[in-house]
Amino acid sequence: MLEFNNHDYHTNFIKQCTNQSILINTEIHTLLKDMYLMYYKLQDNYNYLVKYNIKIHEIIRLEIKGTEIDIIITSTEEQLFISNYNFLLNIINTINKLSILYKQYSFYRKIPYNVFKVIMYATNFEITRLLLKGQKFTYPILGEVYIARVPYDSSFPDWGASYKFKEFLDEQGIQTKDKDNENGKAWLVDNGLNRDDFVILRWKKFASKLHNKAPYRLVPCTFGNIYGKILKRTFTIKELLQNTSTGIFDKIIHMYRYHYEYTQSTFPYVNIASKQTEHNITA
């Protein structure tokens, strides 16, 4: 499994912005050559510049903005002039747009890691809010993610209840089962809520543009952990949406246990029995 951290993303982000800046700068210089070539060519048609009141020098210096001329039935020479003039305006317009992009990428590639980290956090938080409200979000390359209800599978443990049970067994001096003690007491339990569905964060792998999807898996953020044995009260939906110190995994669990009606009315039901190749994260 491949794992990345913010430093990896920041490095790749800076490289991508730098490469885009270089490509755009090259394209601008190519267009500038075409622009001046067309500028000198149009100056050879002084009569038409006067006829259409074209202030070519001011236009080329970007002091004024030229207006395209409709090509009407006239001489071939005049039609060619109009076509060249309109082409010049199109070049200037393209250069202006590329110049804006160049400034943006030049700014982006100077963003330090600490600022990038804040931007990443804020972006992910807003995406989390959209998902918890029942909306879908599509990443340009990774594909679509959303929250859904799926058929309940008791093999998935209720981690909060399980940790409480393990703590109780430990207090009683009963050895619990782990990798070093296969004969210990099993302590993983299901939620016991008698529900026929549970809630997950789904990633539609087939909708992504990744060439090799197999090594990747989606792991929802779990920092904060408002659920589990430390829970002291029930949080409202509004509080969950505004909470900045808790991961989406914990929020989904909390909604499922304490706001089940909300999950039923907000998240679609999906039978994934025939879609096992897609990645699913239990909540």
- Locate tokens 């929250």: which residue? 147
What's the burial of 159, exposed, middle or buried (CB within 10 Å: 0-12/13-18/19+)? Answer: buried
Give the predicted TM-score (pTM) of the model: 0.65
Average pLDDT of the chain, as a whole number: 85
What six digits make up the tokens of 105? Answer: 């990428």
Question: What percent of the chain shows pLDDT beyond 70?
Answer: 88
Q: Is 41 a residue whose pLDDT tops 80?
A: yes
Question: What percent of the chain shows pLDDT beyond 90?
Answer: 48
The three-point CA angle 115-121-124 to 5° equals: 140
- Looking at per-residue confidence, does 169 or 28 come out higher? 28
Strand order in the sheet with 143-151: 137-139, 143-151, 197-204, 279-282
Closest-CA residue to 145 (of 131, 132, 158, 129): 131
In degrees and rounded to multiples of 5, residue 2 shows phi and psi of -90, 135
- Give the pLDDT confidence score for residue 181 in this predicted structure: 85
pLDDT in tens, 134-179: 999 998 888 899 999 988 876 667 777 788 788 888 888 888 988 8
The residue extents of the domains of the chain are 6-108, 124-155+190-282
- Looking at per-residue confidence, does 280 or 21 come out higher? 21
Name residue 61's beta-bridge partners: none
Alpha carbons 124 and 77: distance in angstroms, whole number? 58
- Give the pLDDT confidence score for residue 260 in this predicted structure: 92
Q: Is 230 a residue whose pLDDT tops 60?
A: no
The three-point CA angle 91-92-96 to 5° equals: 115
- Locate tokens 């070093």: which residue? 180
- Give the pLDDT confidence score for residue 9 in this predicted structure: 86
pLDDT in tens, 120-134: 889 989 999 999 999
Rounded to an integer, the average pLDDT of 242-252 is: 85
